[in-house]
Amino acid sequence: MKPDPISVLLHRNAGEHGPVMLAYHSVQSGKESPMWPWAVSLHRFVEQVDFLVAQGYRVITMADLAMGKFDHGERTVAITFDDGYVDNLQAYQALLERGLRATWLVVTGAFGATPNWPGDGRPAGRLLSVAELRDMHAAGMEIGSHTVHHARLPALDDNALALELQDSRAALEDALGLAVTSFAYPYGAWDMRCAGAVRAAGYLAACTTRTGWALRDGNPFTLRRLTIFNHDTAGTLARKLYFGSHEVGWSDIARYALRRLRG
């Protein structure tokens, strides 16, 4: 389904504030909207990716973004996936068919196994295996870290924090045979102590779940992302890309228009 005309009209000026990052989690088969808020249907995922392609976005990895490998004059988006659910293989195949790349930020303590952190209605089943991650990397996808145990980092003492960051990076580098430079804070929970620990652990960038354009803060360890939820369509994605926000319901658009009219 194509985005509605109003969303398309708003989106015409998207991209003026620099690159954006999208945060996905689970991508589930079919067209039905999943129950878990942080999951999307494969049908909607494909619609959203095809919208990005049709609108001329350059799709890059998180590492590319952190290293400035993009043209400031073109629309740029980095697609990320948190946790590493096995259902992401469907999204991987869809991206591969379109010649696109993305970044997977995975929990290393449960390679190929059922997630071992507390559940919140997340998808059943296992996480991606080492062999699958190797294949994805060989095909041009970036693999980054999301800690060992999906821990809330601000709650950890300095030693436990360092181990979550260092051990997850080491596990990925041993498995993949390459440097791992990208990180995502579990639950979007972080503070400046955590950001400093991520830097000290050898990463080059870390992403949060704060909304906004990716580089808004000018700090590679507090990159912003737009989370994609189960209700999002190509139309809401278009509006998110324009506003750099999750507040893109029609009531939000009406308030925005009223503020503009009042000058």
Segments forming the whole domain that contains residue 129: 5-262
The residue assigned the tokens 């390459």 is 178
* Contact in structure between 209 and 183 (CB atoms under 8 Å): no
d(CA 71, CA 74): 6
* Contact in structure between 100 and 49 (CB atoms under 8 Å): yes
Select from 1, 19, 20, 12 the least CA-distant residue to 232.
1
| Structural domains of the chain, count | 1
Residues in the chain, overall count? 263
pLDDT tens track for 173-210: 999 999 999 999 999 999 999 999 999 999 999 999 99
pLDDT at 258: 73
175: its two tokens: 């498995």
Residue ranges of E strands in the chain: 20-24, 26-28, 39-41, 58-60, 76-83, 103-106, 142-145, 182-184, 205-207, 226-227
pLDDT at 263: 64
Q: Evaluate the CA torsion angle 126, 130, 131, 137 in order and state its sign.
A: positive
DSSP state, 110?
G
DSSP state, 206?
E
pLDDT tens track for 63-114: 999 999 999 889 999 999 999 999 999 999 999 999 999 999 999 999 999 9
Beta bridge partners of 143: 104
DSSP state, 212?
S
pLDDT tens track for 124-161: 899 999 999 999 999 999 999 999 999 999 999 999 99
Q: How confident is the model at residue 262 (pLDDT cuts 50, 70, 90)?
A: confident
What are the C-alpha distances in Å from 250 to residues 226, 231, 234, 237, 257? 18, 14, 15, 13, 10
Q: What is the CATH number of the domain that holds 143?
A: 3.20.20.370
